[in-house]
Amino acid sequence: MYKFGRSVIHIFLSIFGGGVRAVNRNRIPSNLTGYVVVCTHRTWIDVLALGIAMKPTPLYYMAKKELFKSHVTKRFFTSLNAFPVDRENPGPSALKIPHKLLKEGKVVGIFPSGTRSSEETGLKKGAFVIAKRSGVPIIPAVYRGPTSLKGIFKREKIIVNFGHPVDLENYQMKDANYVLQTIQDRFHDLEMEIDK
């Protein structure tokens, strides 16, 4: 269902929108498996764009538990490789599920701002904690493009720009804020690259 859904969305964005352009995807080592991708979060569209930009690698998303309330939506989002997390009171499953996926060599996508925002917001520690405990690097990415369906139909270009891996091997849990600031700085640099 995930690959089918991603293909349908990709075709839709290509026909009715400006398409999705993955920039600097080669910064992700081809032999790298099991890592966390963190991306800026301004709209629901960036979730779709990140999945397309990661092709052919499937992405497993951390999503707010409210999306899984009904049986129908739970089946739908689960089929799209999403798993629930309680943003207000994250329990053991918030770490257990992504840890298991990463140990299996899968890629987990996290939007560390925790909420959609057009403003620069502080990053939450979840991505760092998950990546550090799983012994995997973090790949930063930024989204540039429409924030609504109107923007898609106006054929605004969608760009996802990837950064170099952030290796956490030499960092400890106490260094979380420093690493998060490093990622925030990477986001800024990646945005500036798009503008060049």
Per-residue pLDDT reduced to its tens digit, 128-158: 999 999 999 999 999 999 999 999 999 999 9
Helices marked H in the chain: 2-16, 45-53, 71-79, 93-103, 126-134, 149-153, 176-195
> Whole-angstrom Cα distance, residue 178 to residue 135?
18
Whether the predicted pLDDT of 118 surpasses 60: no
Task: Find the domain containing 41 and state its range.
Answer: 2-195
Task: Please tell me the predicted confidence (pLDDT) of residue 27.
Answer: 96
pTM of the model: 0.88
Whether the predicted pLDDT of 115 surpasses 80: no
Q: Which amino acid is at 22?
A: A
Q: How many domains does the chain have?
A: 1
Q: How large is the average pLDDT for residues 171-189?
A: 94
CATH code of the domain in which 182 resides: 3.40.1130.10
pLDDT tens for residues 53-84?
999 999 998 887 887 888 888 887 888 888 88
pLDDT band, residue 90 (cuts 50/70/90): low
- Give the neighbor-by-neighbor strand order of the sheet with 35-39: 20-23, 158-162, 138-144, 35-39, 107-110, 59-64, 82-85
Of 126, 92, 131, 101, nearest to 111 by C-alpha is: 126
Question: Would you give the DSSP letter of residue 148?
Answer: S
CA count, 13 A, side-chain hemisphere, 3: 4
Q: Which residue has the tokens 């690959």?
A: 3
CA 21 to chain centre: 15
Q: Which helix (H) or strand (E) is 172 found in, with range?
A: none
Task: Please tell me the predicted confidence (pLDDT) of residue 128.
Answer: 92
Task: Please tell me the predicted confidence (pLDDT) of residue 82.
Answer: 86
Q: What is the largest CA-CA distance in the chain?
A: 47
Whether the predicted pLDDT of 165 surpasses 70: yes
